[in-house]
C-alpha cells in the first residue's frame, strides 16, 4: 500500500514536471518570437521579483528603483503587476507578486498545506520574468517585520528548490520612524545567507542594490534563476534563443540607424531649404521697403497735385479773384521795370555842370557852385 502510494506520487510528480516544463517551454518560445529585449546579461537587463510587502511598500520600491519616473510600462498579468523602464543604462523589470501570499500562508496551521495551495501561482514567477529572475527580493518595511516573512522563502524553496535561495535577498525599505529592524537576527536574512539591503530614496542606494545583486549572481553559472529541472531545456534551447534574440536586436538597431540616417539627411535638406527661403525672405523684405518708400513719395506727389488742382478749380469758380491776381502780377511787373530804369541812370561829372544821361540822351545841368551863386545874388 505504501509502495503503491509512493509510485503514484512519483508518477504525479513526473506528470507535473513534464507539464510545467512544457508550459515553460511554450512561454519561452512565445517570448523569443514576440519580445527580443530579454537578455541574459544583467548589465543590459535586470529582472526582479518582489515578494511580500503591502501595496504601499511595493509602490515605494518601484518608485525608488525607477527614480520617480512616470513613463514606465505597466502590465497586469492576472494577480501580477509588471513595471518596466530604463535605470542607469539597463532595462529593469519589476514583477510584483500578490501581496496576499504571506497572510495566506500565516493562516495555515501546517505551512506546507498553505504552500501547496498557492504553488501554482508561485510557479508564475518564471513565466512573468522570462527567461528567469535575476533576484527574488523579499520586501519588508524597516522596523515593521513580524517574524513570519521567511514563510515566503520557504514557499520559494519548496516550489523551485534550495537553489532559488541563492538568488534571494531581503530588501528593507527605510522608514521615517525611530524603530529599526535588526537584519542580523531576522530568520529571513539568515535564509538568504545574510544578504540584505536597506533601500533609500537616493541614486547611490539604487546603484548599491544593483551592485549587491551582481555580486550575488557573479560566481554562478546562470546569471538568472532557472530551476534545476529546466537546465537541460536551457542548455539545448537557450543558446539558440539568445542568438536569435541578438540577431533580431541587431536587425532592429540597423533599421533604427537607417531611419536615423534618413531623418538626418531630410533634416539637413530641410535646413538648407529653410536657409534659402530665409535669404529670399530677406531680399523680399528689402524690396518691399524700397517699394514702400516709392509708394510714399508717389502719395506725396499725388497729394501736392491734388492740392494744386483744388486751388485751380477754386480760382476758376471766382473770376474776380483771377483778375485781382492778374493785376497783382502786372503791378509786380511794373515795379520790376521801374527798378530796372533807375538802375540804368548814370551821373557823369562835367566842368561847367553836371551832365546826366537818361537813356540815350545827355541832359546838361547848370553848375550852381557857391562862388557863382554869390556873384549872381550880388548882381541882383
Look at residues 304, 327, 343 and tell me which one is the last residue of a structural domain. 304
Domain count, the chain: 2
Q: Count Cβ atoms within 10 A of the Cβ of residue 366 and give its class: 0-12 exposed, 13-18 middle, 19 or more buried.
A: exposed
Nearest residue to 67 (alpha-carbon basis) of 171, 209, 202, 199: 202
Residue 177 belongs to a domain:
yes
Residue 203 belongs to a domain:
yes
pLDDT band at 336 (very low <50, low <70, confident <90, very high): low
DSSP E strand stretches across the chain: 45-51, 73-77, 80-87, 90-96, 135-141, 168-173, 196-199, 346-349, 353-358, 361-366
CATH number of domain containing 76:
3.40.50.300
| pLDDT at 177 > cutoff 50 | yes
DSSP E strand stretches across 269-331: none
CA-based Rg of the chain, rounded to a whole angstrom?
56
**Range 338-354 average pLDDT:** 51
| pLDDT at 170 > cutoff 70 | yes
| pLDDT at 173 > cutoff 80 | yes
Residues 129 and 250 in one domain: no
Sign of the C-alpha dihedral, residues 264, 267, 271, 272? positive
User: Which residues, at least 6 apart from 173, have a Cβ–Cβ distance to it below 8 Å?
Assistant: 53, 57, 60, 61, 64, 139, 140, 141, 142, 198, 199
Distance CA 123, CA 347 (A): 143
Contact in structure between 166 and 153 (CB atoms under 8 Å): no
Look at residues 199, 226, 253 and tell me which one is the last residue of a structural domain. 226
Residue 278 belongs to a domain:
yes
Cell readout for 26 is 511554450
> Helix 55-65 and helix 203-218: axis angle, to 10°?
90
- In this prediction, residue 131 carries a pLDDT of 79
Contact in structure between 199 and 169 (CB atoms under 8 Å): no
Instruction: Give the tens place of pLDDT for each residue, 260-302.
Output: 999 999 999 999 999 999 999 999 999 999 999 999 999 999 9
Max Cα-Cα span within the chain: 202
| pLDDT at 315 > cutoff 90 | no
Q: CA separation (Å) from 347 to 11, 174, 198, 248, 340?
A: 161, 128, 130, 124, 16
Residues in the chain: 380
Distance CA 90, CA 66 (A): 11
- In this prediction, residue 22 carries a pLDDT of 43
Q: In what order do the strands lie in the sheet with 361-366?
A: 346-349, 353-358, 361-366
| pLDDT at 50 > cutoff 80 | yes
- In this prediction, residue 337 carries a pLDDT of 63
Instruction: Give the tens place of pLDDT for each residue, 246-258.
Output: 777 788 888 888 9
DSSP state of 108: -
pLDDT band at 2 (very low <50, low <70, confident <90, very high): very low
Place of cell 544593483: 210
Residue 137 belongs to a domain:
yes
Nearest residue to 369 (alpha-carbon basis) of 352, 356, 355, 357: 352
Q: Count Cβ atoms within 10 A of the Cβ of residue 225 and give its class: 0-12 exposed, 13-18 middle, 19 or more buried.
A: buried
Residues 206 and 260 in one domain: no
Helices then strands, counting H and E runs in the chain, come out as 12, 10
Contact in structure between 105 and 52 (CB atoms under 8 Å): no
Residues 125 and 209 in one domain: yes
**Range 310-334 average pLDDT:** 71
Residue 57 belongs to a domain:
yes
pLDDT band at 189 (very low <50, low <70, confident <90, very high): very high
Instruction: Return the minimum-mean-pLDDT range out of 57-71, 174-188, 275-289.
Output: 174-188
- Per mean pLDDT, which of 222-226, 299-303, 321-325, 350-354 is the most reliable? 299-303
Domain around 123: 16-226
Residues 244 and 218 in one domain: no
Residues 66 and 88 in one domain: yes
Residues 61 and 196 in one domain: yes
Distance CA 42, CA 224 (A): 8
Residue 353 belongs to a domain:
no
Distance CA 232, CA 205 (A): 37
Instruction: Return the minimum-mean-pLDDT range out of 62-76, 92-106, 230-244, 280-294.
Output: 230-244
- Per mean pLDDT, which of 215-219, 324-328, 342-346 is the most reliable? 215-219
Q: pLDDT: is 247 or 234 the higher one?
A: 247
Instruction: Return the minimum-mean-pLDDT range out of 166-180, 250-264, 309-323.
Output: 309-323
Residues 117 and 130 in one domain: yes
DSSP state of 176: S
Residues 120 and 173 in one domain: yes
| pLDDT at 191 > cutoff 90 | yes
Residues 218 and 242 in one domain: no
Residues 297 and 193 in one domain: no
Computed over every residue of the chain, the mean pLDDT equals 77
- In this prediction, residue 236 carries a pLDDT of 66
Residues 159 and 264 in one domain: no
Q: pLDDT: is 16 or 275 the higher one?
A: 275
Contact in structure between 143 and 177 (CB atoms under 8 Å): yes
Contact in structure between 106 and 149 (CB atoms under 8 Å): no
Cell readout for 60 is 515605494
Contact in structure between 181 and 98 (CB atoms under 8 Å): no
Instruction: Return the minimum-mean-pLDDT range out of 85-89, 288-292, 374-378.
Output: 374-378
Residue 370 belongs to a domain:
no
pLDDT band at 318 (very low <50, low <70, confident <90, very high): low
Residue 70 belongs to a domain:
yes
Residues 183 and 235 in one domain: no
Look at residues 276, 304, 332 and tell me which one is the last residue of a structural domain. 304
Q: 161-166 contacts: CB < 8 A, separation 24 or more?
A: 161/227, 161/228, 163/225, 163/227, 163/228, 164/136, 164/225, 164/227, 165/191, 165/192, 165/193, 166/193, 166/216, 166/220
Amino acid at each position: 500500500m505504501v509502495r503503491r502510494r509512493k509510485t503514484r506520487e512519483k508518477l504525479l510528480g513526473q506528470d507535473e514536471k513534464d507539464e510545467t516544463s512544457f508550459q515553460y517551454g511554450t512561454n519561452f518560445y512565445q517570448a523569443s518570437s514576440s519580445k527580443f529585449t530579454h537578455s541574459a546579461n544583467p548589465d543590459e537587463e535586470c529582472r526582479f521579483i518582489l515578494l511580500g510587502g503591502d501595496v504601499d511598500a511595493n509602490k515605494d520600491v518601484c518608485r525608488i528603483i525607477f527614480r520617480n519616473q512616470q513613463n514606465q510600462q505597466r502590465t497586469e498579468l492576472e494577480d501580477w503587476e509588471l513595471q518596466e523602464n530604463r535605470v542607469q543604462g539597463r532595462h529593469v523589470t519589476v514583477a510584483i507578486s500578490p501581496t496576499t501570499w504571506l497572510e495566506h500562508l500565516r493562516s495555515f496551521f501546517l505551512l506546507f498545506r498553505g504552500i501547496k495551495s498557492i504553488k501554482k501561482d508561485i510557479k508564475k514567477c518564471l513565466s512573468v520574468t522570462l527567461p528567469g529572475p535575476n533576484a527574488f527580493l523579499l520586501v519588508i518595511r524597516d522596523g515593521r517585520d513580524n517574524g513570519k516573512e521567511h514563510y515566503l522563502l520557504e514557499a520559494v524553496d519548496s516550489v523551485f528548490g534550495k537553489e532559488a535561495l541563492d538568488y534571494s535577498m531581503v530588501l528593507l525599505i527605510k522608514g521615517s520612524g525611530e524603530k529599526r529592524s535588526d537584519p542580523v537576527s531576522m530568520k529571513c536574512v539568515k535564509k538568504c545567507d545574510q544578504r540584505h539591503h536597506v533601500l533609500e530614496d537616493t541614486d547611490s542606494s539604487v546603484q548599491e542594490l544593483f551592485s549587491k545583486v551582481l555580486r550575488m549572481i557573479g560566481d554562478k553559472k546562470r546569471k538568472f534563476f532557472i530551476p534545476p529541472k529546466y537546465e537541460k531545456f536551457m542548455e539545448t534551447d537557450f543558446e539558440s534563443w539568445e542568438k536569435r534574440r541578438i540577431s533580431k536586436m541587431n536587425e532592429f538597431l540597423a533599421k533604427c540607424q537607417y531611419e536615423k540616417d534618413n531623418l538626418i539627411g531630410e533634416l539637413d535638406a530641410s535646413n538648407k531649404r529653410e536657409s534659402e527661403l530665409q535669404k529670399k525672405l530677406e531680399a523680399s523684405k528689402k524690396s518691399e521697403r524700397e517699394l514702400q518708400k516709392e509708394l510714399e513719395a508717389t502719395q506725396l506727389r499725388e497729394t501736392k497735385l491734388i492740392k494744386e488742382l483744388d486751388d485751380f478749380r477754386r480760382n476758376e469758380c471766382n473770376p474776380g479773384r483771377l483778375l485781382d491776381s492778374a493785376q497783382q502780377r502786372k503791378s509786380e511787373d511794373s515795379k520790376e521795370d521801374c527798378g530796372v530804369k533807375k538802375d540804368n541812370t548814370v551821373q557823369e561829372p562835367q566842368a561847367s555842370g553836371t551832365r546826366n544821361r537818361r537813356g540815350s540822351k545827355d541832359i546838361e545841368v547848370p553848375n550852381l557852385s557857391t562862388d557863382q551863386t554869390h556873384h549872381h545874388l550880388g548882381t541882383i
